[in-house]
């Protein structure tokens, strides 16, 4: 791959048929890298009936839009996604490939890298370019340290982008006309067949898609007190989240866990109730637009990343806030 042709980013479509928020984050990251290289930005979307979401992604700053639209990609398995991405790389010949650091992306990106015999920088929170080479910043040691990774011998250079690490690109431009990418899938690429999908129980709202999340930590002292979080979330039509300590204690189900070993979220508003702010939790929610922390300890680490902080007894503060919001919103 001596000839290099810019940056290729992969978008994702959610169950509602719209681009997932992380797609716009990866587009923003790709635009930064492409501008630094002085090369074009191409976005790839894989699935079935994805022309419209592809145009929406194209309007968010892409120079070129590729669409792998095939009924066999309705349930996008890792084998099929890997095969299509390799075909896109062969067609575009990019210098850099950026993949969302979602469950799917973390699965197929290393497979693609292995087949192409190139390196991959995983779970990146920042991307820059130095001397024409991608520099990927990723956390290690439980998020306590960040390291800069270079892949000078890899062409293309592949990286997965952690959700919530970049501001989302806005779809306020004109999209290039999507180009069809020929899909050639062999028996090995289709050996896994999805017969049925069922939505998992995720509480009042899906955490990844929620615009408002209220999370609770060990400061609630016992599981019954989580009703304070649920009541506040109910008034705000918010999703409910939890820390790992709470989940490990059996207070809440695992699908509500936010943090390094749970879900990564980037809502408009994140309310942390009784959460000290350990780095393992913060890495899962620090991409939120606004963080409100309620904690009785003024030195709690959560206040260092909070836009607004309330120092006080949560058993007094949360009911008072809930009551005020209920009156203000007429609920």
Count the neighbouring beta carbons within 10 Å of the beta carbon of residue 51. 13
Place of tokens 């810019």: 6
Give which of 243, 244, 220, 222 is closest to 232, Cα–Cα.
Answer: 220
The third-level CATH classification (topology) of the domain covering 7-190 is Rossmann fold (3.40.50)
CA separation for the pair 242, 240 (Å, rounded): 7
Taking the complete model, does pTM exceed 0.95, yes or no?
A: no
CB-based contact 277:301 (threshold 8 Å): yes
- With contact defined as beta carbons under 8 Å apart, do 21 and 168 qualify? yes
What are the domain boundaries of the chain? 7-190, 212-329
What share of the chain in percent tops pLDDT 90?
Answer: 65
- Helices marked H in the chain — which ranges? 21-37, 51-58, 78-92, 103-116, 227-236, 244-248, 279-282, 314-329
d(CA 292, CA 305): 9
78 vs 99: CA distance, rounded Å: 13
Q: Strands across the sheet with 126-130, in order?
A: 126-130, 133-140, 145-150
Calculate the average pLDDT of the chain: 90
Does 200 score more than 90 pLDDT?
no
Beta bridge partners of 214: 240, 271
| 3: confidence class by pLDDT, cuts 50, 70, 90 | low
Do the domains 7-190 and 212-329 sit in the same CATH topology, yes or no? yes
Tens of pLDDT, residue by residue over 243-301, are 999 999 999 998 899 988 888 888 999 999 999 999 889 988 988 999 999 999 999 99
* pLDDT for 169 beyond 90: yes
For residue 103, what pLDDT is reported? 84
Where do we find the tokens 């899906």? 206
Return d(Cα 245, Cα 182) in angstroms, integer: 48
The span from the CA of 177 to the CA of 190, in Å, is 29
User: For 129-197, what is the HEC assignment?
Assistant: EECCEEEEEEEECCCCEEEEEECCCCCCEEEEECCCCCCCCCCCCCCCCCEECCCCCCHHHHCCCCCCC
Residue 26 in contact with residue 139, Cβ under 8 Å? no
Token code pair at residue 269: 């508003």
| Alpha-carbon gap, residue 54 to 331, rounded angstroms | 39
Structure tokens at 208: 């990844």
In CATH, 212-329 is 3.40.1160.10: no
Question: If you count them, how many residues does the chain have?
Answer: 331
Q: How far apart are CA 195 and CA 48, in angstroms?
A: 16
Burial class of residue 69, CB neighbours in 10 A (0-12, 13-18, 19+): middle
Rounded distance between C-alpha atoms, residue 31 and residue 12, angstroms: 17
Residue 2 has pLDDT above 50, yes or no: no
Give pLDDT, residue 308.
Answer: 96
Tokens of 225: 């007190």
Tokens 């058993």 locate to 315
**pLDDT at residue 209 tops 90:** no
User: Does the pLDDT of residue 1 top 70, yes or no?
Assistant: no
């Amino acid at each position: 791959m001596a000839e290099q042709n810019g940056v290729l980013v992969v978008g994702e479509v959610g169950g509602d048929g719209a681009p997932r928020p992380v797609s716009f984050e990866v587009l923003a990251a790709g635009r930064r890298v492409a501008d630094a290289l002085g090369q074009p930005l191409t976005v790839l979307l894989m699935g079935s009936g994805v022309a419209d979401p592809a145009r929406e992604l194209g309007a968010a700053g892409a120079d070129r839009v590729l669409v792998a639209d095939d009924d066999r990609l309705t349930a996008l398995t890792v084998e099929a996604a890997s095969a299509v991405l390799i075909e896109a790389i062969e067609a575009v010949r990019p210098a850099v490939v950026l993949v969302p650091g979602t469950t799917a992306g973390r699965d197929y990106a290393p497979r693609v890298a292995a087949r192409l015999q190139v390196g991959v920088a995983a779970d990146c929170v920042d991307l820059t370019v130095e001397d024409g080479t991608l520099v990927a910043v990723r956390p290690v040691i439980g998020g306590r340290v960040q390291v800069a990774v270079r892949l000078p011998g890899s062409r293309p250079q592949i990286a997965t982008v952690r959700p919530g690490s970049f501001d989302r690109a806005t779809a306020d431009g004109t999209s290039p006309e999507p180009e069809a990418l020929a899909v050639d899938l062999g028996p090995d690429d289709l050996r896994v067949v999805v017969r049925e999908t069922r939505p998992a129980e995720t509480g009042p709202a899906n955490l990844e898609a929620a615009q408002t999340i209220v999370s609770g930590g060990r400061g609630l002292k016992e599981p019954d007190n989580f009703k304070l979080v649920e009541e506040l979330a109910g008034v705000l039509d918010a999703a409910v989240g939890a820390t790992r300590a709470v989940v490990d204690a059996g207070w809440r189900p695992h699908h509500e866990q936010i943090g390094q070993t749970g879900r990564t979220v980037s809502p408009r508003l994140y309310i942390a109730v009784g959460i000290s702010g350990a780095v393992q939790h913060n890495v899962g929610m620090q991409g939120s637009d606004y963080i409100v922390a309620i904690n009785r300890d003024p030195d709690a680490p959560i206040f260092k990343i909070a836009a607004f902080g309330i120092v006080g007894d949560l058993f007094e503060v949360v009911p008072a806030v809930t009551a005020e919001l209920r009156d203000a919103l007429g609920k």
